[in-house]
Structures are given as C-alpha cells and as structure tokens.
Amino acid sequence: MAQDTPGADHYERGLLMKKVQSFDSALKEFQQATKDPNQGGKAFAQVALCLKTLNRPEEAVTAFRQALDTGSWSTKERVHILYLLAQTLESLGRDFEALVVYRRVRREDPTFQDVDARIQELSSNQLDSVTSLSVPAEQEGDVATLWGELKPQLGSLMSQTLQRLASYTETLEIPRWGTAARGKLASVLKRGNSLAPLNRSVQAKRGHREKRRHGRVAVTLLSQFSSKGQVVAGEGELRDLSPCGCRISSPAGVPLGTTLECWIYPQEGNPFTVEEATVQWRRPREFGLAFTKLRPSVQRQIADMCKKLAPL
C-alpha cells in the first residue's frame, strides 16, 4: 500500500516527477515524504518549490517556513531557503516581511546574490509609503490654527465644570461618607482653578527629568524591528528618540525584556541600524526600547538628529 512506502521512496519519486515537470504529481509525493521525520525538512522545501511553480505562493510561504523549522540545514542551505522565502513574500506584496527575511540572509551571508539591492529597494519603498501618508503642510497649518482657537475655550470649560461640580457637592447627601469626607470632596473640587499651576509644576519636573535622560525629543519616524530568531517582528511609528533609547507605537505584541534589532528611517538618507535594543516597558500598542549595542557612527547620527530636532 502507498501509505506503507517509506518516505525516502516518496521523495525519490517526487524528484523524478519534478524532473519531467509533472509538478502536481511531484507535489503529492513530496507531501507524503514530509510525514517521514528523516525526510521532513528537505521534503517541505520541495513542496514549497512545487507550490511556487504552480502559482500557489501563499502555501509556498508556509512550506518554506516548515522546511526551516523541521530541517537540519547547513548555513549555505538555510540562506538559500531564506532567500527563496523572501522572494515569495515580495511577490505577494508582503514587503515588510520580505525585508525582515532578506536582512536575516544578509546577517548570515552578506554577499549572497543581490540581497543588498533587495534590502535597499524595499527599505526605500517602506519609507515612500510612510511619506505618502504625511499630512499636507496646508492641513497641518489648519490643525494648528484650530487647536489655538479651541485651547482657551477648553480651559474655560474645564474651570466652569469644576466650579459647578463643587457647588453641586454641597447639595449631595452622602451619609455613608459623613460630613468630614463630604467637605474634603468639595474642597478638592473647589481647587479646580489652582490645578493649572500644579500642572505646570509637574510638567517642569517632567521636563527636567527628560532633559536629564539624554535629551529625548519628539519625532515621527518609521521604525522596523525583529528579534534574532524572528519570533517577534513588526513595524511602527517612532515617537520619542534619544541617543540611548526610543518609544515606538505599534500593534505588534512585544514581550518585556525582548532583545530586538531595530531600524530607524530618518526623513532623508539611509536608515540607522540599532544592532541590539531591549524592551524596557510596554503598554497597549506601544513600548520603550533601550539601545544596548550601537556602532559609534550610528550613535553619532542619532545624537546629531536629536540635537537638530531638540526644541530651543
């Protein structure tokens, strides 16, 4: 029976079918061979190649990943499979995923085929896509004008609301709290007008603390990141930047303590590569990175950018 045939036999028959370009038949044989642990890795690689030839790239991506997970590969073989995976992702328009894989190829073999050219082109495409989403200058002016008009009104509205709440508390019956507690609540609410100086004091302390922490500046830049084993990978918007770290807004779930490789795309020029950065804190849809390994040239570039963008 066919199901009793050793995986090696299925694999050999698959190679014969592939050689005569009977790719559907070859695919079936290789899929049978994947059930044999001794043939799994190379059989999945052949499955992926057949699926790619049969114009089934989504399935080919899955098969390439299974080949990488199950096979025992030499560095040369692994790099070749990674490159084929990146090509397939690129053909599907999944440019960011392709970029991450191409970078893995370059880490393992910097001279492999045209990997540098592919990274440069895809990086440029990613930057162009972010630039195209920028708010036109005339709209930015409208937003600033609108905020300038609304800000005083919001402050006045907040003050009036606090005063009305304070007056209202005088009419409340709160037996469980008692008279003393009710009086304290009213007193707190009546201090609404004094919150502005307090806010300024808090902001001043925060500003002093930020200045002490290497001059963090507000920016809006594209950032991409991935862990060494590609368990975590994604992209986001870099909001705050200092020579020692940054804050990134991203929907990607990044565990606390994860070590990432990070790429920062300035408005002009090539991206900066942060070789190692550690996740120091996280909140929903954002996290903070501390740079733990930087080339001196990149550290100077980031420091120069922070100095240029820092408010006077």
Does the pTM surpass 0.95? The reply is: no
User: What is the longest distance spanned by two Cα atoms in the chain?
Assistant: 93
C-beta of residue 221 within 8 angstroms of C-beta of residue 267: yes
Mean of per-residue pLDDT scores for the chain: 75
pLDDT single digits (tens) 59-114: 999 999 888 887 788 888 989 999 999 999 989 988 888 888 898 898 888 888 88
pLDDT single digits (tens) 293-303: 988 888 888 88
Query: Distance between CA 56 and CA 281 in Å, rounded?
Result: 41
pLDDT single digits (tens) 149-193: 555 555 555 555 544 544 444 444 434 444 444 455 455 445 544
Query: Distance between CA 67 and CA 142 in Å, rounded?
Result: 54
pLDDT single digits (tens) 205-237: 444 444 444 567 888 888 888 887 656 778 889
Q: Does domain 2-131 have CATH number 3.30.70.120?
A: no
Domain ranges of the chain: 2-131, 137-211, 217-309
pLDDT single digits (tens) 129-141: 544 444 444 444 4
Query: Distance between CA 1 and CA 155 in Å, rounded?
Result: 82
The residues facing 226 across adjacent strands are 233, 261
Angle, vertex CA 96, rays to CA 93 and CA 101, nearest 5: 105
For tokens 């402050």, what's the residue?
155
pLDDT single digits (tens) 18-69: 989 899 999 999 999 988 888 878 999 999 999 999 999 999 999 998 888 8
Please state the φ and ψ torsions of residue 302, each to the nearest 5 degrees: -65, -40
Residue 254: what pLDDT?
85
Q: Does domain 217-309 have CATH number 2.40.10.220?
A: yes
Give 75's Cβ-side CA count (13 Å radius).
Answer: 8
